[in-house]
């Protein structure tokens, strides 16, 4: 398998990365890769890029030739690979979609009993579906109920059957866009016209706290933050963090762990105003909170928005990204990177000389 595409050069919206231990590779889905099929570009196909190091990637590989799936995500649940996303065929309200395969590159197939209205409620405008497995091993579907319909965008959750072929309960509203104080209430009247709820993702901290990362609009552009569950599970209640996690016109993320050293990572896109580009960052947990340690793709450098605009540069980094270790930053990270791949130095054995006997009297 060839990996001709550098992370610097990936123009992408809503990137999602599955770190698959079984194959030792990373699989990236997104909104709108498209893929070559029988020598023709199929923009409605779901394409997957593959990497061994997060930096060098394949061209998109077709895994499903159907309606396409905005914000497609790949999940591994009970030994099966699933793609969740959005069913967006013309003439139908956008709604949730789930596909299944035996390996990461498919082929994937529909598992629902009916082609439409099998997951999210009939008539609901829903996008950005994700999958969550609760403490009891039960699968859930979580999606955005679009602000187009409800103005104050919502995240809703529904329990799934064990085979993920259908929802088995009514929607439960987790929270609304307006509940985050880092979202911009003025956005409703000045631009989009509603409170955006995009791209949710669940992450459980080492101390057991369950976070739900999500994206909305703010005065600085696309903005990423998270909420905390009061009971450590999806049923909440959910409390919003005081400050956003990333506020320079980027968002729609997922969390995963790097295969070689278990480092916590986050993928998202930057420059939501366009052209959107891939961003991958190393993350750190501290107590009940999450922090960005190091952004390693370099794509933020000339695309950042908000207060960071004045630091943009027309010259992007040309060198390979520096990987760090959890908790290291600044010169410590640079020092760690410089010795990370160097073999450990063997200390020479020092021959111990016998201690001299004291010549003092009375000794």
Q: Where are the alpha helices (DSSP H) in 107-258?
A: 147-150, 187-190
Q: Please check whether the domain covering 5-338 is classified as CATH 3.30.360.10.
A: no
Report the DSSP pairing between strands 80-87 and 35-37. Answer: unpaired
For 182-203, the pLDDT digits (tens) are 876 655 545 555 689 999 999 9
* Mean pLDDT on 244-251: 92
For 65-86, the pLDDT digits (tens) are 876 677 899 999 999 999 998 8
* Mean pLDDT on 224-247: 95
Residue 301: per-residue pLDDT = 74
Percent of the chain residues past pLDDT 70, beyond the cut: 82
- The C-alpha atoms of residue 203 and residue 199 are separated, in whole angstroms, by 13
* Mean pLDDT on 280-309: 86
Residue 26: per-residue pLDDT = 98
Q: State pTM to two decimals.
A: 0.86
Q: Tokens representing 103?
A: 């390996």
pLDDT surpassing 50 at residue 363: no
Where in the chain are the domains? 5-338
Pair 245, 191: CB distance under 8 Å: no
Q: Decide which of 338 and 134 is more confident.
A: 134
pLDDT surpassing 80 at residue 360: no
- The C-alpha atoms of residue 138 and residue 233 are separated, in whole angstroms, by 11
What one-character-per-residue DSSP string does 26-59 give? EEEEEES--EEETTEEETTEEEEEEESSSSEEPP
Q: Tokens representing 175?
A: 């929270």
pLDDT surpassing 80 at residue 221: yes
With CA atoms as reference, report the closest residue to 134 among 255, 215, 229, 207.
Answer: 229
pLDDT band with cut points at 50, 70 and 90 for residue 156: very high
pLDDT band with cut points at 50, 70 and 90 for residue 338: low
Pair 32, 14: CB distance under 8 Å: no
Q: Tokens representing 164?
A: 């993920």
With CA atoms as reference, report the closest residue to 16 among 63, 66, 85, 111.
Answer: 85
């Amino acid at each position: 398998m060839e990996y001709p595409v550098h992370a610097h050069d990936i123009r992408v919206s809503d990137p999602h990365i599955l770190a698959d231990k079984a194959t030792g590779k990373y699989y990236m889905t997104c909104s709108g890769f498209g893929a070559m099929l029988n020598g023709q570009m199929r923009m409605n196909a779901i394409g997957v890029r593959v990497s061994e190091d997060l930096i060098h990637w394949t061209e998109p590989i077709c895994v499903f030739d159907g309606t396409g799936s905005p914000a497609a995500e790949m999940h591994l649940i009970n030994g099966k690979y699933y793609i969740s996303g959005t069913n967006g065929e013309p003439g139908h309200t956008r709604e949730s979609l789930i596909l299944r395969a035996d390996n990461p590159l498919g082929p994937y197939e529909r598992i629902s009993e009916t082609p439409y209205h099998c997951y999210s409620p009939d008539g609901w405008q829903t996008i950005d579906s994700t999958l969550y497995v609760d403490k009891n091993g039960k699968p859930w579907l979580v999606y955005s109920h679009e602000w187009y319909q409800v103005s104050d965008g919502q995240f809703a959750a529904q329990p799934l059957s064990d085979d993920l072929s259908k929802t088995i309960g009514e929607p439960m509203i987790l929270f609304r866009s307006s509940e985050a104080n880092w979202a911009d209430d003025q956005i409703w009247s000045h631009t989009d016209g509603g409170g955006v709820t995009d791209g949710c993702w669940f992450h459980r901290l080492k101390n057991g706290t369950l976070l739900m990362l999500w994206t909305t609009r703010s005065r600085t552009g696309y903005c990423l933050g998270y909420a905390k569950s009061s009971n450590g599970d999806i049923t909440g209640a959910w409390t919003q963090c005081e400050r956003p996690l990333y506020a320079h016109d980027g968002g729609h993320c997922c969390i995963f762990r790097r295969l070689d050293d278990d480092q916590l990572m986050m993928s998202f896109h930057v420059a939501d105003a366009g052209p959107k580009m891939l961003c991958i960052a190393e993350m750190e947990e501290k107590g009940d909170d999450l922090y960005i340690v190091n952004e390693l793709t370099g794509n933020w450098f000339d695309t950042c928005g908000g207060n960071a605009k004045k630091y943009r540069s027309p010259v992007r980094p040309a060198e390979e990204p520096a990987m760090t270790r959890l908790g290291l930053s600044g010169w410590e990270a640079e020092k760690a990177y410089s010795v990370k791949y160097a073999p450990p130095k063997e200390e020479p054995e020092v021959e111990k000389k016998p201690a001299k006997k004291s010549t003092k009297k009375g000794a």
